[in-house]
Structure 1
Amino acid sequence: MSRGLGSRLRSRALPLLAAATALLLVALFYYPVATVLVDAVVVDGELTAAPLAAVLTSEFYLGWVGRLLADPVGFAGYLAGTMLADPLAALWTLQTLGLFGFTAWQALLSTVASVALGLPGAWVLARFEFRGRRTLRSLTILPFILPSVMVAVGFYATFGASGTLNAALAAVGLPRLNLLPSLTAIVVAHAFYNAPLVTRVVAASWEQVDASAVETARALGASPRRAFRDVVAPQLLPAVLMGATLTFVFTFASFPIVLALGGARYATVEVFVYAAVQQLDYHEAAALATLESGVSLTLTALYLRYEQATTSQHRNARKQPRRPLLPASWTPKRTAVRVAVAGYAVVVAAVFLAPLASMVYGSLTVDGQVTLDAYRFLLQRQVSGGQFQVKPLPAVKNSLLFGAGTLVVALPTGVAMAVVTTRRFRGRWAVDALSMAPLAVSGIVVGLGLLRGLVFGVTLFGYRISVAGPVAIVAAHGVAAYPFVVRNVAPQLGRLDRSLVESARALGASRLRAVVDVELPLVWPGVVAGAAFAFAISIGEFDATVVLAEGGGAYTMPVAVERFIGRRLGPATAMGTVLLVVTAASFLVIERVGGGLGGDGDGGGGGGGGAL
């Protein structure tokens, strides 16, 4: 009897694993987010559309669309009269899109900047061979996992009134620039994060372009430019669109970058959600969060559907050979290409290296003089800080503990979901989309949901259930990190030779045994890469943490950096440098323990599936 029960359990292991993972996601993500969305339609226990209607009919939030929804007849009459009397005024009215319009506009600009900065990098990595190419390709993902609040400090240290840029301008007798706060700074900072993502996605697809198709086009008389336009570009377009979609989703819900570099003048929907939470106006926050999440979830679902339709199109293609970046002989054409690459390297250094270098430099200098005053301040705060002041060592300790807890939550959940979503069954696309929802829902919304639903407590079957702030923070970090585990493991599982699994099953292995003994060892580099991502993302998570750590001692390094920004820049740059060292060291330790982050990248990605 027990043997029969065990056999039945093993045969149903994967469905049971999927059910357990789904229940965990419901408890840590869907239920908390649902509590936020319920606040948008329930006030004082009564069902109402008032909070959503207040946002949808607000000219401040939706511009002319809000006026139209509030009074369709009146607005139509106003617009018709204005169009006859003053067409320019009417056009200006139609250009007023409100807070949501500005949020979408800055996300669009950020997407264009990220694609423009990322595509040349993909071209260099995919088409040229040079020493350090594999290492450089691995490093393209590092900006994406760096803590956003630390990057904001780096941009302040570079482009602020007392930053390194103005110091360099003053040294050569040029006037200083006032670049912060500004929309340009927000866009460039977003490109810092997302251009490497575009590079990685497109380079993976470019490496899979069918060389025989290009050779056929050239043999038929097409010029190199025509062959690229007609053969290569159509094969790259899906990867470009997927990278652009992800970038738009991430920048539409961006929070720390906009908060730090934009201020009140350039605030986005996410900043207003946080402000409403701070003012305890949960219904307005929920209404804004509902509309914002609807946009992000729709785009994420479209991305996943498109990815599934295009991810295997180059699997059996013959790769194009790479050209040496430094050839033995030089021609005018080759010289122009190398000059273009050198110019691109200068731009990359200015965008990616300057903020980090400026942050470290700012932590070690005052008015150009080398000093350790900023680090002494952190030590003094640690020794003599008050009970409610942020201290450096507890922040470091909390970040590391929360990172370890995140691995416990995100790694098994992500691996289990990767196994489930790479099986063929009806509705797989819907399951994949639902499992990736945490990628699209902002950390502020998740943090608010955990605060309202779990920290404040919920009554079930007559019992009051609540969790402590640190537990909720680990839950929020696990939710934020687990999609990256899935996106690292699932593509490698999808590319496995299924005959190996079928052979194991033919020899008597159960479905679960085949997964554990055959599939997971073959995709172990992807599992390690997912673990490194999960830990690093936990170390740098700010959005949900700043909501859940309010009023408690569960602050982390990113929260400490944000608190120090309110003082002079030195302590913030010092704490940011500590955060940079801990993040990089943690990432490298996990990578070394696991034996490498998934190979050299020559064939990875599958045109977007391994983008993260």
Structure 2
Amino acid sequence: MRRLSALAGLALVPVLVMGVFFVLPVSGMLALGLWPDGDFSPFAVLEVLGRPRVGRVLWFTVWSASVATLATLALGIPTAYVLHRLRFPGRTVLRALFLVPFVLPTVVVGIAFKHLLGGPLAALDLEGTPVAIIAAMVFFNLAVVVRTVGTAWEGLDPRSGEAAAALGATPWQVFRTATLPALRGSIISAASVVFLFCATAFGVVLILGGLRYATIETEVYLLTTTLFDLPAAAALCLLQLVVVTLLLYAAHRARSGSGTSVERRAVAPVAIRRRDLPALGIMGLGMLLVTAPVLDLVAGSFRVQGGWGLGNYRSLGTVGEGSLVEASVLDALLNSLRTAVDATWMALLLGLLVSVIVTRRSHSTAERRMRGVLDGFFMLPLGVSAVTLGFGFLITLDEPPVNFRDSALLVPIAQALVALPLVVRTLVPVLAGIDDRQRQAANSLGASPLRALLTIDLAVVWKPLLAAGGFAFAISLGEFGATSFLSRVDHPTLPVIIFRLLGEQGADNYGMALAASVILALTTALVMLVVERLRVPGVGGF
């Protein structure tokens, strides 16, 4: 009982933080959808779902996410094989190259594809079409499949496949009967994450789809900021919350039932063979998809009237006369950096405390159950989109006793909650891998719990902690979903001001948006390069 009370006391702070800044906003959003006029009215949700436009939005969300997921798997699985099972010069560089799109802010991805399809590829007439949106989704999520499936593939015991080949099986038969069943769990895991990211895509759909092609995320934004139909927006958030929760549960069950455990061993990559040429060709297509929008974005940022130059970059410190943008791009960059720093230390502090709580050894059934409940509770932000969270902040944290509407900490808190699940999932495997007998030995030698924590746990976790901080910083720097609701007009972040510049008339504003996107992408990529260099277990998987 004493240990249970101590666990409850340790969990009090993060539970209170989650209660105020997650449970309260989400509950307020649900209440607005189910109690639109103060009385319980579930039929109000059905009325919203029965609207013709909402039906089209739901259908586009589902089918576009499904097609994008299938296309990502088709490109990602062969690419994972090439990058994780074959040996050739430059393999490490290509791995890093395929990781870059995933860490790019969604606003940058959207503007990169918009510029590519409206410029060099304008003859294809794809700008503003579902093809453009799906291509951007594949670009953004290809790294998920490559990293998740590739990590599983490179540690796969090849002996079963070698035995099948020795019995006369063709390479395709070996893949279908031996390799694919062993990879099924990682493929399902990657597909579920990709579908979730595609279904909740915001920045790329908002920029490339406009009002014609909208997902649930962008429709909530439209209903909130343009039509001011808050009950309808809450109803869509409620539907999305239910669907995402069911998806995560189904993916968990599918992974659990995907087959027996597979023996893993260190396997050296092999040289390229003739039969690997199709996979290499598919990887080439993926590389073209990854590099073309980024290179075109960089080139476009140096285009000025009449030729090439640095004019777009020189204009970043100015505010155009008569512009609706009330801050310069450089001011927005500084705002983003300060906000990301605040969000990072919040996510790390809360994530480290949560990780310590859920990984300590349980001494009773009740204690083990409490840790399991807490672990699930702190992962709830993973199942709620950033748009839903930002909308919840907007409608619930604007009155005493929790009036944070005008607080400078509101945006960092929202971004910290978005990054929290990744921080926890980075630290938990590392802390769980520490032998508890080391702590017991330290205690028996007279070390206090704090000293044991510093000398044993911190010595192991400091490197993953830095990597988790890098991930949290990169996520916060490019976060647009929640920030689009909460950012003040006179204190915008860089993704917000890029989106505003896109809505301004004039080539100068568009050029500034391109230059700002390059700076944001470069800053994020540099942060992730540092994370990738750390190369710690459990970090970098999705």
Please report the TM-score for the alignment, with normalisation by the length of structure 1. Answer: 0.79
What stretches of structure 2 of length at least 5 have no aligned partner?
363-367
**Secondary structure of the equivalent of 1:43?**
coil
Distance apart, 1:275 and its partner CA: 1.0
Per the alignment, do residues 352 and 387 of structure 1 end up closer, same or farther by CA in structure 2, a change over 3 Å counting? closer
Residue 391 of structure 1 deviates from its aligned partner by 1.2
Correspondences of 1:74-473 after superposition (within 5 Å): 98-160=56-118, 163-166=119-122, 176-218=123-165, 222-278=169-225, 279-304=227-252, 313-314=261-262, 317-325=264-272, 334-337=273-276, 339-366=277-304, 369-381=307-319, 389-422=326-359, 425-426=368-369, 430-454=373-397, 456-459=398-401, 465-473=403-411
1:421, distance to aligned residue in structure 2 (A): 3.6
Separation of aligned partners in 1, 2:45 and 2:29 = 13
Matches of 1:505 and 1:255 in 2, distance apart? Answer: 50
- In structure 2, the residue matched to 1:330 is none
Q: Structure 1 pair 12/522, CA: closer, same or farther in 2 (3 Å)?
A: farther
- Residue type matched to 2:471 in 1? F
Q: Secondary structure at the match of 1:492?
A: helix
My pick for the range that moved more, 232-241 or 113-122, is 113-122
Secondary structure in structure 1 of the residue aligned to 2:192: helix
CA drift of 1:252 comes to 0.8
**Aligned counterpart for 1:38 among listed residues 21, 27, 31:** 31
Cα distance in 2 between the residues matched to 1:130 and 1:506: 52
**2:498 matched to which residue of 1?**
561
**Residues 430 and 518 from structure 1, CA distance in 2 versus in 1: closer, same or farther, beyond 3 angstroms?**
same
Q: Taking structure 1 as reference, are residues 430 and 302 closer, same or farther at Cα in structure 2, changes over 3 Å only?
A: farther
What is the CA distance between 1:17 and its match in structure 2? 3.2
CA distance in 2, matches of 1:304, 1:392: 42
CA distance in 1, matches of 2:296, 2:472: 27
| Residue type of the alignment partner of 1:277 | T
Q: 2:483 is matched with which residue: 545, 549, 552?
A: 545
Question: Bigger CA drift: 225-234 or 144-153?
Answer: 225-234
What does 1:526-541 align with in structure 2 at a 5 Å threshold?
Answer: 526-541=464-479
Structure 1's 345 and 211: CA in aligned 2 closer, same or farther, altered over 3 A?
closer
Aligned to 2:40: 47
1:146 deviates by 0.9
Aligned to 1:79: none
Change (3 A) 1:419 1:214: farther
How many Å apart are 1:442 and its aligned residue?
1.6
Whole-angstrom distance in 2 between the partners of 1:521 and 1:205: 28
Contact 1:557 1:579 in 2 (8 A): yes
What is the alpha-carbon distance in structure 1 between the residues aligned to residue 312 and residue 206 of structure 2? 23
What TM-score comes out, normalization by structure 2 length?
0.89
Cα offset, 1:102, TM superposition: 1.8
Larger radius of gyration between Structure 1 and Structure 2: 1
Q: How well do the aligned residues superpose, as a CA RMSD in angstroms?
A: 3.0
Distance in 1, matches of 2:49 and 2:203, equals 25
In structure 2, C-alpha distance between the alignment counterparts of 1:224 and 1:496, rounded to whole Å: 41
- Distance, in Å, in 2 between the alignment partners of 1:308 and 1:317 is 17
Matches within 5 A, 1:479-494: 479-494=417-432
Paired with 1:110 and 1:512, the residues of 2 have a C-alpha distance of 48
Aligned residues: percent identity?
34
Counterpart contact for 1:124–1:341, Cα < 8 Å: yes
| C-alpha distance in 2 between matches for 1:502 and 1:131 | 47
Supply the AA of the counterpart residue of 1:24. V
Q: For residues 35-72 of structure 1, what are the alpha-carbon distances to aligned partners after superposition, in whole Å with 9 as ceiling and x for unaligned? A: 1111011234332224312124334434xxxxxxxxxx
Relative to 1, partners in 2 of residues 1:555 and 1:307: Cα closer, same or farther, differing over 3 Å? farther
| 1:436–1:123 Cα change, 3 Å | same
Q: 1:432 Cα deviation (Å)?
A: 3.5
Q: Which residue of 2 aligns with 1:67?
A: none
